[in-house]
């Protein structure tokens, strides 16, 4: 390489450094990433104690990564380069058949399963009402064939079987219900959640296990509420050229339906489908308005009261249960800290359903709250 060429390379490199250093000083820090749908790390507070312990350096590294100038563009560029090189993975997300974005499943340590099942069993032992337990497999399990056979992806079925073998609650086989319809649109291509269609099949399995009849799928008239849904898997992947998903609802709210939010403590209209979220990044929050500690649904029907201890997969599934129960109580243990056993007694609950996606079951640290 000639000296002129060497100087040119050095000049470009130095210009690059200066531009990005200046941008990092001029551009304000972002609190939230709309694309990734998460809060970004703020500048860490300096102290000699934090410096010498290594905490400050670790936090500053995370801060620098989150606040890197033009971060979204670089994530997309990286994904495109990886694609050109023949790689199907970027940021832990695999680009599968049919432009399906899949995060492979990595099984937790066995003590995680044992600890969480101890909590489920403590709940079942602590109440006289029937307790049901169901795990929802993710698309890395049901749609595993959309990824390369060489993709490292642990079996969610093995985890479900291990958990069910330890359960003193009555188990519900949602894995079989979804696997029987694996060729249908059970999951969003760009998100980790199941679609409302997938939720229907899960709800049908739940109702059958409880000896409640489910409405035939043909009796519904699904309505498209959005054709521009991009989920969290898309946001972290960098595969920005993927087409969006459609979102549908199958159950329309009746006039007799009332929903009480934990925060307001009073029935509110429009909580079943808060369509204001359809104009935002987190469109999935349209179902019940997103994460909340407790929701109480008065369906206006005759019947029993059902309590569901759940994650966000229940949000689009619960409406399929409305015809079978007079009340449905939805508790998210990430935000609800009161006694579950006391709640069952005080609200005259007739049945309890513990319903979690396998990924969340493997990582949630709040299961111990069930038996209190």
Residue 74 predicted with pLDDT over 50: yes
- Which of 73-77, 112-116, 131-135, 301-305 has the weakest average pLDDT? 73-77
Is the predicted pLDDT of residue 96 greater than 50, yes or no? yes
Chain position carrying tokens 């469109």: 283
What local confidence, expressed as pLDDT, does residue 336 receive? 96
**Residue 115 pLDDT class (50, 70, 90 cuts):** very high
Per-residue pLDDT for 75 more than 90?
Answer: no
Is 70 exceeded by the pLDDT of residue 123? Answer: yes
Q: Is the pLDDT of residue 190 over 90?
A: yes
Torsion over CA of 314, 320, 324 and 329, rounded to 10 degrees? Answer: 30
Residue 26: predicted pLDDT: 62
Q: How confident is the model at residue 55 (pLDDT cuts 50, 70, 90)?
A: confident
pLDDT of residue 76 exceeding 70, the answer is: no
Cα-based distances in Å from 73 to 70, 238, 241: 6, 9, 12
pLDDT at 236 over 90: no
Nearest 5°: the CA angle 122, 316, 231 is 105
Question: Among 81-95, 296-310, 319-333, which is the least confidently predicted range?
Answer: 81-95
Instruction: pLDDT band for 268, please (50, 70, 90 cuts).
Output: confident
> Where is pLDDT greater, at 92 or 52?
92
Mean pLDDT of 19-45: 61
Q: Report yes or no: 249 and 196 within 8 Å, Cβ to Cβ.
A: yes
For 21, residues 6+ apart whose C-beta sits below 8 A from its C-beta are none
The confidence score (pLDDT) of residue 91 equals 87
Average the pLDDT over 129-138 and give the result: 99
- Is pLDDT of 218 > 60? yes
Q: Which of 35-49, 64-78, 199-213, 234-248 has the lowest mean pLDDT?
A: 64-78
Quick one: pLDDT at residue 23?
47
> Among the listed ranges 12-26, 59-73, 146-160, 249-263, which one has the minimum average pLDDT value?
12-26
Question: Does residue 11 surpass a pLDDT of 70?
Answer: no
Determine the Cα–Cα distance for residues 285 and 93; give it in Å rounded to an integer: 22
Q: What is the 3-state secondary structure (H, E, C) of the chain?
A: CCHHHHHHHHHHHHHHHHHHHHHHHHCCCCCEECCCCEECCCCCCCCHHHHHHCHHHHHHHHHHHHCCCCHHHHHHHHHHHHHHCCCCEECCEEEEHHHEEECCCCCCCHHHHHHHHHHHHHHHHHCCCCEEEEEECCHHHHCHHHCCCCCCCCCHHHHHHHHHHHCCCEEECHHHHHHCCCCCCCECCCCCCECHHHHHHHHHHHHHHCCCCCCCHHHCCCEEEEEEECCHHHHHHCCCCCCCEEEEECCCCCCCCEEEECCCCCEECCCCECHHHHHCCCHHHHECCCCCCEEEEECCCCCEEEEEEECHHHCCCHHHHHHHEEEEEEECCCCCCCCHHHHHHHCCCCEEEEEEEHHHHHHCCCHHHHHC
Exposed (0-12), middle (13-18) or buried (19+): which is 283, by Cβ within 10 Å? buried
Q: Residue 371: what pLDDT?
A: 85
| Mean pLDDT (whole number) for 50-64 | 72
- Determine the length of the chain: 372
Q: Are 165 and 135 in contact (CB under 8 A)?
A: no
Q: Interior CA angle at 192 toward 189 and 195, to 5°?
A: 65
Q: How many CA atoms lie within 13 A of 189 on its CB side?
A: 20
Q: Which of 79-88, 110-119, 341-350 has the lowest mean pLDDT?
A: 79-88
50-59, 60-69, 199-208: range with highest mean pLDDT: 199-208
What would the two tokens of residue 50 be?
């934090």
Any idea which of 27-31, 118-122, 252-256 has the lowest mean pLDDT? Answer: 27-31
For residue 202, the model assigns a pLDDT of 99
């Amino acid at each position: 390489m000639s000296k002129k060429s060497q100087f040119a390379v050095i000049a470009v490199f130095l210009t690059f450094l200066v531009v990005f250093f200046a941008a990092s000083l001029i551009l304000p820090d972002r609190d939230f990433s709309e694309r990734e749908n998460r809060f970004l790390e703020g500048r860490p507070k300096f102290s000699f104690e934090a410096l010498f312990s290594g905490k400050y350096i670790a936090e500053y590294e995370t801060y620098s990564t989150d606040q890197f100038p033009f971060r979204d563009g670089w994530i997309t560029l990286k994904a495109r380069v990886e694609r050109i090189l023949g790689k199907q993975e970027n940021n832990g997300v695999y680009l599968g058949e049919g432009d399906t974005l899949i995060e492979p499943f990595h099984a937790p340590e066995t003590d995680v399963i044992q600890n969480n099942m101890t909590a489920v069993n403590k709940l079942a032992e602590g109440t006289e009402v029937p307790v049901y337990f169901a795990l929802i497999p993710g698309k890395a399990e049901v749609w595993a064939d959309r990824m390369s056979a060489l993709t490292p992806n642990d079996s969610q079925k093995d985890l479900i079987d291990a958990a069910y073998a330890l359960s003193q609650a009555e188990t519900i086989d949602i894995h079989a219900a979804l696997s029987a319809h694996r060729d249908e649109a059970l999951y969003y291509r760009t998100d980790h959640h199941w679609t409302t269609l997938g939720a229907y099949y899960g709800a049908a399995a739940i109702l059958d296990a409880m000896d409640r009849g489910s409405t035939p799928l043909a009796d519904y008239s699904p309505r498209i509420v959005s054709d521009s849904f991009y989920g969290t898997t898309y946001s972290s992947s960098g595969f920005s050229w993927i087409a969006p998903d459609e979102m549908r609802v199958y159950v329309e709210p009746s006039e007799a339906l009332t929903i009480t939010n934990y925060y307001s403590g009073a029935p509110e209209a429009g909580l079943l489908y808060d369509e204001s979220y359809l104009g935002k990044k987190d469109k999935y929050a349209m179902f019940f308005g997103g994460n909340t500690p407790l929701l109480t649904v008065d369906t206006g029907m005759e019947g029993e009261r059902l309590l569901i201890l759940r994650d966000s997969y229940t949000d689009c599934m619960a409406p399929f249960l409305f015809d079978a129960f007079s009340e449905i109580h939805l508790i998210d243990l990430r935000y609800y800290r009161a006694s579950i056993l006391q709640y069952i007694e005080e609200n005259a609950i007739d049945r309890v359903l513990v319903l979690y996606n396998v990924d969340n079951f493997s990582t949630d640290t709040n299961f111990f709250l069930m038996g209190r």
